[in-house]
């Protein structure tokens, strides 16, 4: 799972790569290139997080206006089996192990319920916002950057041509102004990367907090269940005699 440290690492690697590229090219300001590198780094992190979450949170996409439904996990399926066993639905006569099976049913039900709630929150508050940025915002910014690069090449070529043919100076100036306008638009988009950075950090921190909460809850519930089953196991000899 990608964590906050991986964000810093990816950004730093991208900045170094951009710095090396600048050694052989000075077409754009260093700050502009750094912001592009940062954009790519955050895209990489968001892509990894979204892919990782999708690998263990299985969601049945709804038809509006119905909310999404989590697919039944193996834990929930196990809970259902244990619940039936604890009610002696598979056996003709009561057995001494039923209290232990009942405890196992209770704890797996509790864990499955907690897991589903946490996964639902991760889906809504982490996966969906990051996926939306990947599918909508990032492609839009990329299109504007591509347009900017193309205009830069056209304006540079037109200016060089105007030096040889002064009659084309007006056209070259128009193309230069169009490029500068597009460049400012891209700069504004890239300046908003600070907000994207804050948003992604918030999503990653929330993801880690939710997972920690889930693991802590599971550990606590399993400890209680183990203690209850140990007590029930100690009563097995007497229970067998009573049968």
Burial class (CB in 10 A: 0-12, 13-18, 19+), 27: exposed
In the predicted model, residues of the chain with pLDDT beneath 50 are 1-4, 7, 11, 18-25, 60, 62-64, 66, 68, 71, 92-93, 239-240, 243
Q: What is the pLDDT of residue 99?
A: 76
> How far is Cα 84 from Cα 101, in angstroms, rounded to an integer?
10
Contact 73, 88 (CB under 8 A): no
Homologous superfamily in CATH for domain 4-242: Arfaptin homology (AH) domain/BAR domain (1.20.1270.60)
Q: What is the pLDDT of residue 73?
A: 59
Q: What is the pLDDT of residue 151?
A: 94
Q: What is the pLDDT of residue 238?
A: 55
- The predicted-structure confidence for 52-111, as pLDDT tens digits, reads as follows 888 877 654 544 454 545 545 565 656 665 565 556 555 544 555 677 778 888 888 888
> How far is Cα 8 from Cα 192, in angstroms, rounded to an integer?
18
Q: In this structure, what are the phi and psi dihedrals at residue 67, rounded to the nearest 5 degrees?
A: -75, 160
**What is the residue extent of each domain of the chain?**
4-242
> How far is Cα 32 from Cα 30, in angstroms, rounded to an integer?
5
Show the 3-state SS of 45-87. Answer: HHHHHHHHHHHHCCEECCCCCCCCEECCCHHHHHHHHHHHHHC
Q: What is the pLDDT of residue 183?
A: 95
């Amino acid at each position: 799972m990608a964590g906050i440290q991986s964000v810093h690492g990816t950004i730093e690697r991208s900045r170094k790569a951009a710095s090396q590229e600048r050694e052989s090219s000075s077409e754009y300001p260093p700050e502009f290139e750094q912001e592009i590198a940062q954009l790519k780094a955050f895209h990489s992190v968001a892509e990894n997080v979204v892919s990782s979450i999708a690998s263990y949170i299985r969601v049945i996409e709804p038809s509006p206006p119905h909310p999404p439904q989590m697919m039944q996990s193996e834990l929930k399926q196990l809970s259902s089996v244990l619940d039936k066993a604890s009610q002696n639905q598979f056996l003709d006569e009561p057995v001494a192990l039923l209290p232990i099976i009942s405890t196992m049913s209770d704890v797996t039900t509790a864990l499955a319920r907690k897991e589903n709630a946490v996964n639902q929150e991760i889906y809504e508050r982490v996966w969906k916002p990051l996926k939306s940025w990947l599918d909508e915002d990032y492609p839009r910014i990329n299109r504007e950057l591509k347009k900017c690069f193309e205009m830069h090449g056209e304006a540079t070529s037109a200016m060089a041509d105007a030096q040889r043919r002064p009659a084309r100076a007006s056209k070259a100036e128009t193309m230069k102004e169009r490029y500068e306008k597009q460049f400012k638009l891209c700069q504004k988009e890239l300046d908003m990367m600070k907000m994207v950075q804050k948003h992604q950090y918030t999503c990653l921190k929330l993801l880690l907090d939710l997972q920690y909460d889930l693991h802590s809850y599971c550990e606590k519930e399993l400890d209680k269940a183990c203690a209850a089953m140990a007590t029930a196991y100690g009563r097995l000899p007497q229970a067998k005699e009573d049968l």
